[in-house]
Structure 1
Amino acid sequence: MEKLMVFIFLAAFLKPEVPDSPLSITVYVTGQQKGLIQLLVFDSPEGFPDQPQKAIRREAVKIENGKAFFHFKDLKKGEYAISAFHDQDGDGKMRKNIFGIPKDPYGFSNDVRNPFSPPTFQSAAIQLPKDGLAISFTLL
């Protein structure tokens, strides 16, 4: 009987480690009427906002009815920042002028904008809760 009581006590208070279940982010991007939207998802400041090789997810979607819809599955709970641009010529690259200023409309999660530089990861960061998240932002 004593062993049974110890087992019940341990079962009630010691919970096994359960790995985080996969989560998702749904992103709606507006602001353009035709073409492609290139979108990058980052889970750290490294490479944010414009280094696709350092993004954890990258996708291009055709604009339909003035919106592009993205859905990323199998993510872990945590902090993410998203960047996107209007890929007018479909080459997968943002066009920039000789000073490095984007020619193509672009945007970031939280609709964050800095007048003279790209936003920081922290300013664009969103928290992914356990039930997933849907966000939207506009390309300007």
Structure 2
Amino acid sequence: MDPRISLITLGVRELERSVRFYRDGLGWPTSYEPGQGVAFFKSWGTVLALYPIDKLAEEIPDGSYQPQPGGCGITLAHNCREKSEVDQVLDMARKAGATIRKDASDTFWGGYSGYFCDPDAYLWEVAYGAFPIGEDGHLILP
């Protein structure tokens, strides 16, 4: 198996609200049209999908899968090329309706980061300094 994450799907309570947050608030590109049932957002390397959480639960028909928005122990991350971008992205998220969980500050690992939650309480870290970002937008790992 190739080490690759192609798509991340977030189960959301209100698809239209979440689309507005990511598309209009954060400026993520999408070809989503109302009524499509799922929204796909292009990013550099991985596709982010938004899907109604009740429909996501139906994917496992025996009822054993009961996802809860934002309660899954996952942090998504957006790494920035410059330290100042962290504050800019957090401000953009705040204006889009995000809840800021931690204002940006210097970190124990020598970087700079802050956290916000999207409308469904998915936690995002906005960070600078952990890894450089290549020209193609991917992190450069040691």
Structure having greater relative contact order (Cα 8 Å, sep ≥ 6): 1
- TM-score (norm. length: structure 2): 0.26
Which protein is richer in helix relative to its size? Answer: 2
TM-score w.r.t. the length of structure 1 is 0.26
